[in-house]
Chains A and B, each alone.
Chain A
Amino acid sequence: MTEFALRQSQAEVLRYRSGWMGISAVPGSGKTWTLSHLAAKLLLTVDLQPDQEILVVTFANSAVDNFTSRIGELVREYGLLEGYGYRVRTLHGLAGDIIRERPELAGLGNDFRILDDEDANAILEELSFEQLNKHEDFFRHLISSDRNPKEVEKLMRDVKSGMPALLKDIASSFIRSAKNEGQMAADLAILQKSRPVTPLFQICFEIYRSYQERLKLLGAVDFDDLIYHAWKCLKSDPDLVRHLAHRWPYILEDEAQDSSKQQQAILQVLAEQTGNWVRVGDTNQAIYQSFTTADPRLLKEYLARPDVYSVDLPESGRSCQKIIDLANRLNAWVQTSHPNEAVRDSLTKPFIIPTQPGDPQQNPPNTAHSVELVTNPFSSEEELNFITRQAKAWLENHPQDTVAVLALMNARVNKIAEVLRQNKIDYVDILMKVPRETRETIGSVVNLLKLIFYPLDQKVAVKALQVFYRHFRSDDALAKVVTTAKGWLESLPRLEDFFYPVEADPLEELSYDDPETASLLADFRAAVLRWHQAAYLAFDQLMLVISHDLPLEPFELATVHKASSFIKIQMDNHPEWTPPELIAALSDIAKNERNFFSVNENQDAFNPELYKGKVVLCTCHKAKGLEWDKVFLTSVNNYDYPSGAEKDSYISEKYFILDRRNLQAEILAELNLLISNNPSAVVHPGIGRLDARNELIRDRLRLLYVGITRAKSSLTISYNTGINLAPAVAYKALWQEEEND
């Protein structure tokens, strides 16, 4: 390990041997690097028993892979066995491990299934729709009276952005919050007897109850249940805590600002036994608070505890000084001058400082254009054109640099993509749920499966032929044969004469004129006939039969195996589905309309360095953890980044709801009142609204900070006036300060 290169703060972290430690890191300060080294150092220095492991907990699957490979490299350097003595898990993965120790404590068998978010959402959608139909009048009365009857009808049916979507979102956050508070549906049923609840609360409760019943029928739990059950197992069984504390004498937690109350409780109950807990986080990058149960205040409280040894990692070599200054100015302004005093705690110390001379990661030099704060009041179109021009110019002048355009909303990113496409600017969109390689592999299998279930469709057959020989693409001569074969198949009047000739085999004739094409078609036909014979197999197994006939790379084969398990779950969840529905579920992954945990070489991690010369498009949320030489931060107006000013509007206060009530905030406030058993508090329309607004404002201020700190050498910020919008207050403050300077 290159200890000579350690920064002072990093060295301080690596001196850790026991106790509770909290590390406040700034963007680009090398949290993963430091924590990986700490794990490796502990492995080397602490005398672990054979059944003990250093536990590293992080937030995303991609980070698990990153940590695993980094620690693996380090332990190899030390001459230790890779994969031995440490375990890297997401919090949900860890919860699964805990439950699997004694599933019966959670009322589960060992074969319980985990429902992914997409499936959970599908169930919630269905149940919400049921409730909406059952209480149609109630929901109609919630719609603003200035909507005409036609609009009302549309809103009542619009599953994407109308009332069904709203109710599903409300129910989803109701269920998630209840579980985070350890309240299952049966517990709420008892609490409800203590005080009357609003009709909307009752509806959410009904959805919750039906949702849990549905999961029971499937023998499944969702991600929030995983956390709840793990916590419950630990709470009810001190022996289990003792045993797990023995197994994991050290807990190293990354991205601790994103932990929820219950997630923290799980780690805490273990760490209280072991006494060894290291939490690393950056509360300034807590960007999930307004729509998940993540709560950065928990980390702040932890850092402030007298028994916690608190260390800052303030040095960052990522950005040039001007960009660092801008981020620090935003931080200081929020803390001292934000007009809404309630949100001045959104950003906190430490401020970012550049690295020292001699540090292996030197900050990029300032240039004249390191920070460009565009003050023009662009219309939406104008901003798009501005970005297009600027991005094009940047690519021309810096072909070896990385560049990203960031916006807060998916819709805006899609708009930008459209304009870039029109202007023929090469871009890559990392809104995508599943990596391209994974989607391509699944897409290939889908095309071949279609041939079995739509056997008479000529287009399907032609596509299948191309997919079957897709590996020939890289060889011009072979690709030419495939093209000839494709043409031949397209011209064939009846497919059955090719696959199952009754009299003369058309391939025989072809083999005289063009033996190469005939031979290629014969191989394809032989494979298809094998698949027809295997059509009795369950769909998930049929996928494997097909994949066996394709020349797949190891990770592609692993992807098909993974997809096959995914399909098996779909089959169990939807026994009524026939092959077309299952093909559609796979197609959704291939078309990027459904999430799927891929088995890519890089897992899910996105590496901007692979896309030099292209514009990377993404949301500020997705940009977290990434960095580019040049960043365009767009749409920084008072809708995306509200401040609490009178004219601001908020995404959760739906335009179509009477008095723009924030129904989600009201329900969560009511839930909290019920759980906290506060008899004097009264539920009323508007309850929870202010808190929800402030949460959103905090989240957005941190997103602005995240957006700024993605840039290494150059940053351009702009805004548009949309429909009557103004620049974000924070942004205006930054440019005004800049002007004053």
Chain B
Amino acid sequence: MIYNSLIMNGILSLTPERMQEQAADFLAHPHLFLSGPASSGKTSAALLRLHQILTSDFNSRTLVLVPQRSLGEPYQSFLRNVNLPSSHQVSVQTMSSIVRRMIALFWPLIASHQVFRHPFEPPRFLTLETAQYYMAQIADPLIDRGHFATITLTRNRLFSQLLDNLNKSAIVGFPHTELARRLKSAWNGDQSQLTVYDDVQLAVNAFREFCLEHNLLDYSLQVELFREIVWPNETFQRYFQNQYQHLIYDNAEEDPPYVHDIVRSWIKNLQSSLIILDEEGGLHSFLGADPVSAANLVFDSTTHIRFKQNYVSPPPIKALLGYLQSSQTQKLPHSTISQALIITSKQPRFFPELLQSVSQEIADLILNGTTAEQIVVLSPFLSDPLVFELSRRLSKAGIPTQTLRPSLALKSNPHIQTILTLASLAHPDWNQPPDLYQAQFALSTAIPKLDPLRARLILDQTAPNKSVTSLPPIASLPNEVVERIPTEVLGQFEKLRLWLSSVDPSEPLDYFISRLFSELLAQPGYGFADVQEAGEHTARLIQSYQKFKRPVAADQGADAAYLGREYYKSLNQGLLSALYLPDEEIVGEPGVLIAPVLTFLMQNRAVEHQFWLNLGSKGWYERLEQPLTHPYVLNRQWQPGKKWTTDDELALGRFNLERTLIGLLRRCRGQVHLCTSDYSEAGIEEKGLLLTWAQNLFRSALREEESD
């Protein structure tokens, strides 16, 4: 509502296209704050503006700042497609990548502040995963000593919530030593639970000390150092001002407040700035996004334009949006609702049946001319069975699918699994031998002509106890086994075995993987030859190991053998690749998109048909419950001393649901298909708010019609 008072009255009379032109004119509106709902043409206006900058100010550089890499895609695509001499003068970045680069660059400056015990040694940047690896070293002994006794969480979740706390303090901008006090002051549950926040404080303090001692920079420390030491420094400021003259900052509402602080203090030194706010965004609030702080950037801009036009939605969807935005007080005719929202005529009893009917509906749509790219299947969470069943059913009907989901664990990839199994066979000193079944799979993947049965014939000679410590030489195989395997295959096996047994245990794991790939697996006759994705997956594994190795390698006694062993162990324990990864991975060819709701919303694209699954789930609106932290209490907008109550929780749920519904409807060009079964995917009867809302919507409309 803050926006209403800020709307420029004169501009409202302009046509939308004219408004986009206005927004693009960086000379007329050098510091522009552009707001509006999703699908109102904001990013298109920003691209127009970028085009104008590039075509008129050849010697300048522009920073396109986005909260996550995927949101920079429209800009990247624009830059790939325009043929402009100065397009290289644009850089699309997130603030965290800038922070990290600048810290590395200005490390001597940080070192001079004597924050670290060894300031003259280089910094060791931690990823989310490696931070968790070190947090485990701090928190494990605490748990074993009886701390955190009143909560029930797996250790990996516990570590990640501790790190979350540190991150929240950094991005919001309060000392991490205040965490327990803040969390306690908002707690309104059983008082005996309060001690757990002291445990939190103990762990995060110890972790921070550990980081300072070993030059480890987790995300929170990176942000703090950048905000407090690097950014205010004059030398840095001079350097940075020379870097960029124009700023386009899109989806500001999805960034945490420290980014807004930095942008605010920077605007005045820029030739032009465009800040874009999705008024109904803030979807990443649970990760620290602060749409209120983003909206306040309007006061630092000289012009505010607000787009209101919805270019996407057909009339029934617009009517539904109007209903939602009017606090659901309007009356909607049943015919309008049923044009916007389609309900399956006969509700199936079980979830797999529902997937069957969804697949059929999609097939029918495609038969009637809808393209696969114009269909999305959405659920609050994507379970493996859901993705598997649906994509199998659709592909059977010849319909391509694409899955968009947080990156899967490395281990769930067949090529990576094969390499890891072979790596553990090559490193008996790790003392983590693969089991018989992993070895069977790895052998038949590495040597395609060695099928699982013949691979098993060989392995049965060496693995009486289900784990395979080494591969048997062919000379040791009994004749009755040898005669069942083609000579050529035996040769390939022996070559593989010899190669593995010749591995030097002190060889770094990334070299080992690289050699295994190039010297063996990618050679003719072996499993990765001519398999394009096998190479990509191998590269990904190497990259993952290197990210792990960088900080850990400086630990005392961390030789190659230690690093390899720790990496392998951490993968097996789920400590690596077990965290929320903000960048989603797209799997499959372009086609029907199967995605979690939030991921789809963050894609900023509209489609004709949306299928909503798991309607009864609370995942549509509830926040992630984290007993050791609290994204809303550790937020700049939180009133100190206020308790977080059930009413707050419920209000948040309703707000989240409404925001999600509006966001999805705005991204719908045609119809929403509500898909529900008596028993949910979890096999129970779920009755979340979305289901109740939909039932109530139809019921009220029917009643209204009957009373007419």
Contacts and interface: CB of A to CB of B under 8 A. Distances in A.
Q: Is the interface of B mostly helix, strand, loop or mixed?
A: helix
Contacts of A108: 151-153, 625, 627
Interface in B78-132: none
A87 B437 CA distance: 46
Nearest to A88: B685
Interface string A562-605: 10110000000000001110000000000000000101000000
Contacts of B622: 110
A153 interface: no
Contact of B692 (A51, A233, A536, A540): A51
B385 A219 contact: no
Given A50-B696, A217-B155, A541-B384, A557 B627 contact: no
B456 A455 contact: yes
B352 A103 contact: no
B485 to A, nearest CB: 9
A644 to B, nearest CB: 43
A545 B389 CA distance: 8
Interface in B368-403: 384-385, 388-389, 392
Contact of B349 (A50, A53, A500, A554): A554
Interface string A543-556: 01100100000110
Interface stretch (B185-193, B516-524, B588-596): B185-193
A237 B649 CA distance: 12
Interface residues of B, number: 74
B437 A535 contact: yes
A455 B67 CA distance: 50
A496 B647 CA distance: 65
A473 B700 CA distance: 51
Contacts of A540: 384-385
Contact of A558 (B152, B466, B679): B679
Contacts of B526: none
B626 A502 contact: no
A442 to B, nearest CB: 14
Interface in B35-92: none
Contact of A496 (B153, B440, B454): B454
A42 interface: no
Nearest to B626: A109
A50 B437 CA distance: 54
A494 interface: yes
Contacts of B571: none
Given A110-B622, A548-B392, A599-B350, A536 B153 contact: no
B327 interface: no
B350 A558 contact: yes
A350 interface: no
Which of B189, B392, B412, B695 has the most C-beta atoms of chain A within 10 angstroms of its own C-beta? B189
A503 B149 CA distance: 64
A112 B152 contact: yes
B451 A221 contact: no
A157 interface: no
Contacts, number: 189
B164 to A, nearest CB: 12
A554 B350 contact: yes
B531 interface: no
B473 interface: no
A558 B152 CA distance: 30
Contact of A499 (B351, B445, B451): B451
Contact of A216 (B153, B189, B418, B678): B153
A101 B652 CA distance: 12
A561 B683 contact: yes
Interface string A717-735: 0000000000000000000
A219 B412 contact: no
Contacts of B384: 538, 540-541, 544
Contacts of A123: none
Given A499-B451, A537-B412, A554 B188 contact: no
A122 B667 CA distance: 50
Given A50-B696, A500-B453, A243 B352 contact: no
B154 A578 contact: no
A236 B452 CA distance: 57
B189 A105 contact: yes
Interface string A216-245: 111111000000000011011101101100
Which of B155, B353, B417, B685 has the most C-beta atoms of chain A within 10 angstroms of its own C-beta? B685
A404 to B, nearest CB: 30
Interface in A490-532: 494-496, 499-500, 502, 532
Contact of A561 (B351, B418, B435, B456): B351
A485 to B, nearest CB: 19
A561 B353 CA distance: 11
A680 B233 CA distance: 73
Nearest to A576: B435
B646 interface: yes
B508 interface: no
B453 A456 contact: yes
Interface residues of A, number: 73
B417 A239 contact: no
Given A104-B189, A216-B153, A219-B152, A599 B683 contact: yes
B153 to A, nearest CB: 5
Contacts of A237: 188-189, 645-646
B499 to A, nearest CB: 22
B679 A103 contact: no
B238 interface: no
Contacts of B645: 237, 239
A140 B686 CA distance: 51
Contact of A84 (B153, B413, B699): B699
B140 to A, nearest CB: 12
B684 interface: yes
B687 interface: yes
Nearest to A568: B384
Contacts of A232: 190
Interface in B647-704: 647, 649-650, 678-679, 681-685, 687, 689, 692, 695-696, 698-700
B457 interface: yes
B385 A564 contact: yes
Contacts of A409: none
A236 B190 contact: yes
Interface string A648-678: 0000000000000000000000000000000
Given A104-B625, A219-B152, A538-B384, A562 B453 contact: no
Given A50-B692, A84-B695, A103 B687 contact: no
B284 interface: no
B344 to A, nearest CB: 14
Interface in B402-457: 412-414, 417-418, 435-437, 440-441, 444-445, 451-454, 456-457
A236 B683 contact: no
20 contacts: A50-B696, A102-B646, A103-B627, A104-B625, A104-B627, A105-B189, A107-B151, A107-B627, A109-B627, A221-B152, A455-B440, A455-B453, A494-B484, A500-B454, A532-B444, A536-B418, A538-B384, A558-B352, A565-B683, A579-B437
Return the 6 tightest CB-CB contacts between A and B, nearest first: A107-B151, A558-B350, A239-B646, A500-B451, A536-B414, A219-B154
Interface of B: 149-155, 157, 188-190, 193, 196, 348-353, 356, 384-385, 388-389, 392, 412-414, 417-418, 435-437, 440-441, 444-445, 451-454, 456-457, 460, 466, 484, 486, 618, 622, 624-627, 630, 645-647, 649-650, 678-679, 681-685, 687, 689, 692, 695-696, 698-700
Interface of A: 50-51, 53, 68, 81, 83-84, 87-88, 93, 100-112, 186, 215-221, 232-233, 235-237, 239-240, 242-243, 452-453, 455-456, 494-496, 499-500, 502, 532, 535-538, 540-541, 544-545, 548, 554-555, 557-558, 561-562, 564-565, 578-580, 597, 599
Given A219-B152, A237-B188, A554-B349, 6 more contacts: A105-B193, A455-B456, A532-B451, A536-B414, A561-B683, A597-B683
